[in-house]
């Protein structure tokens, strides 16, 4: 509890505030007392009037007036005291606020010291490099994937196909004459001939069919 | 404040005579203790003066023409002292008057502390006069929302403050004037 007792210590300003508040309490007590006295003067005045003692009644009323003045004076003093007290209490709070700001500033400065500018520059440069590298990759990727280049590629393909169709097939060179293969070759040729003939036949018959009405 | 409604036992004649059987007497003095506590609580009475209060309605029932004797009252009060429900005022003669703790000092302590924190008055310097003289216009000391403003007896307040001091919830200090007690509450 040692720390708490030091935290709860009484400062000079606390003592000053206490003095002021004690003065205020004393004024308050005085005012309470004088208010009672002044009320009693009114009763005395009434009693004296009933008895027919006008002078005494007037004296009591004069006293009462004077006491009322005192009451209003103590009211003013009480107001002054409470104003002063509030100003002091507000200044104390202000002091705390400024203290808080000071501590916050110190923390900020020490934090700034910890973050070295060179480190930050290096870090930023590294980041920049990484960004550039990333950009390069994405540029490469995007050029490959761009619709124009894809179209161009398709065009190239079409041209190549055209070239292939126009040029005589170079790969269909006369086949090397190998004895064992001749027979097969011949048979193949026969078959292909037959197919070609049959297809010619059908074409011819069609032609005939077309021509018939003209013949009639 | 509505008049205090006495319990039925207050109209029971044997209640005013000390019963010879021990067990009956124990119940009887407990009933008297409860009656004294609730009566004082209702009238916000902190101080009970034996001679003066023996004349009051509490210990006199004109309807049945009975009253409690001084000896029996002192015996009841001694029992209550043992229970921590009263405390003899040592500043006056022996067994003349006592503080009635219809709230124990520890209860007062926690009520005062709760009120101070609810008003945001921690760490403010407060005078003893301020605490014991509630002013409805400025610093009304409403310790219980169900009850109206009232002043706590300075002795009871002192007891409560001492309890708070041992709990570390309050710092007490005096100014240049030894009578002026400054109080600083801590949360």
Domain boundaries, chain A: 11-115
- Could you give the strand order of the β-sheet that contains B125-127, starting from the edge strand earlier in sequence? B125-127, B181-185, B170-174
ipTM of the complex: 0.72
Cβ contact B129–A29 (<8 Å): yes
Range in A124-133, A205-214, B173-182 the model is least confident about:
A205-214
Residue A112 has pLDDT above 90, yes or no: no
Cβ contact A8–B130 (<8 Å): no
For chain B, say whether A19 makes contact (Cβ under 8 Å): yes
Cβ contact B184–A14 (<8 Å): yes
Mean of the per-residue pLDDT values of chain A: 79
And the tokens for A145? 């994937």
Give the model's pLDDT for residue A216.
Answer: 46
Nearest CA in chain B to A82: B138
Cβ contact B182–A10 (<8 Å): yes
Q: Which of B129, B176, B184 has its CB closest to that of A25?
A: B129
Under 8 Å CB pairs connecting chains A and B tally to 51
Give the model's pLDDT for residue A182.
Answer: 52
Question: Which domains, and CATH codes, for chain B?
Answer: 8-100 (1.10.10.570), 105-185 (1.10.10.10)
Give the model's pLDDT for residue A137.
Answer: 87
> pLDDT under 70 in chain B at which residues?
1-2, 135-149
Residues A26-81 pLDDT 10s = 898 898 899 999 999 999 999 999 998 889 999 999 999 999 999 999 999 999 99
pTM of model > 0.90: no
For chain A, say whether B167 makes contact (Cβ under 8 Å): no
Q: Which of A4, A8, A19 has its CB closest to that of B175?
A: A19
Nearest CA in chain A to B172: A10
Nearest CA in chain B to A21: B127
Residue A5 has pLDDT above 50, yes or no: no
Long-range pairs, B148-151, Cβ under 8 A, ≥24: B150/B44
> For residue A21, which residues of chain B lie inside 8 Å, CB to CB?
125-127, 130, 182
* pLDDT: which is higher, B39 or A119: B39
Percent of chain A with pLDDT over 70: 72
For chain B, say whether A91 makes contact (Cβ under 8 Å): no
Long-range pairs, B47-54, Cβ under 8 A, ≥24: B47/B89, B47/B97, B47/B98, B47/B99, B47/B100, B47/B153, B48/B77, B48/B86, B48/B97, B48/B98, B48/B99, B48/B100, B49/B96, B49/B97, B50/B74, B50/B77, B50/B95, B50/B96, B50/B97, B50/B98, B51/B96
> For residue B136, which residues of chain A lie inside 8 Å, CB to CB?
none
Residue A190 has pLDDT above 90, yes or no: no
For chain B, say whether A96 makes contact (Cβ under 8 Å): no
């Amino acid at each position: 509890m040692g720390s708490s007792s030091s935290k709860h210590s009484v400062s000079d300003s606390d003592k000053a505030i206490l003095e002021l508040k004690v003065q205020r309490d004393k004024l308050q007590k005085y005012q309470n007392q004088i208010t009672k006295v002044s009320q009693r003067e009114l009763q005395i005045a009434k009693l004296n009037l009933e008895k027919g003692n006008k002078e005494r009644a007037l004296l009591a009323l004069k006293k009462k007036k004077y006491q009322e003045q005192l009451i209003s004076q103590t009211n003013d003093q009480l107001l002054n005291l409470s104003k002063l007290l509030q100003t002091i209490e507000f200044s104390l709070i202000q002091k705390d606020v400024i203290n808080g700001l000071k501590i916050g500033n110190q923390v900020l400065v020490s934090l700034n010291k910890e973050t070295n500018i060179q480190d930050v520059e290096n870090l930023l440069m590294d980041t920049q490099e990484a960004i550039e590298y990333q950009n390069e990759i994405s540029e490469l990727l995007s050029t490959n994937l761009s619709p124009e280049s894809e179209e161009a590629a398709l065009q190239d393909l079409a041209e190549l196909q055209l070239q292939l169709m126009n040029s005589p097939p170079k790969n269909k060179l006369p086949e090397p004459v190998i004895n064992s293969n001749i027979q097969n070759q011949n048979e193949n040729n026969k078959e292909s001939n037959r197919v070609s003939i049959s297809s010619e036949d059908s074409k011819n018959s069609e032609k005939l069919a077309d021509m018939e009405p003209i013949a009639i | 404040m509505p008049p205090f409604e006495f319990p039925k036992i207050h109209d029971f004649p044997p209640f005013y005579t000390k019963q010879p059987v021990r067990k009956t007497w124990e119940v009887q003095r407990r009933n008297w203790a409860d009656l004294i506590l609730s009566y004082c609580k209702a009238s916000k009475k902190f101080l009970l003066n034996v001679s003066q209060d023996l004349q009051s309605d509490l210990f006199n029932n004109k309807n049945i023409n009975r009253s409690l004797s001084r000896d029996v009252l002192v015996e009841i009060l001694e029992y209550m002292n043992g229970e921590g429900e009263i405390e003899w005022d040592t500043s006056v003669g022996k067994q003349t008057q006592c503080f009635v703790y219809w709230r124990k000092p520890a209860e007062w302590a926690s009520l005062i502390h709760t009120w101070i924190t609810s008003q945001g008055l921690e760490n403010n310097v407060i005078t003893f006069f301020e605490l014991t003289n509630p002013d409805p216009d400025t610093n009304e000391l409403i310790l219980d929302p169900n009850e109206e403003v009232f002043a706590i007896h300075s002795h009871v307040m002192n007891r409560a403050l001492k309890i708070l001091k041992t709990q570390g919830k309050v710092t007490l200090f005096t100014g240049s004037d030894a009578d002026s007690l400054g109080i600083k509450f801590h949360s």
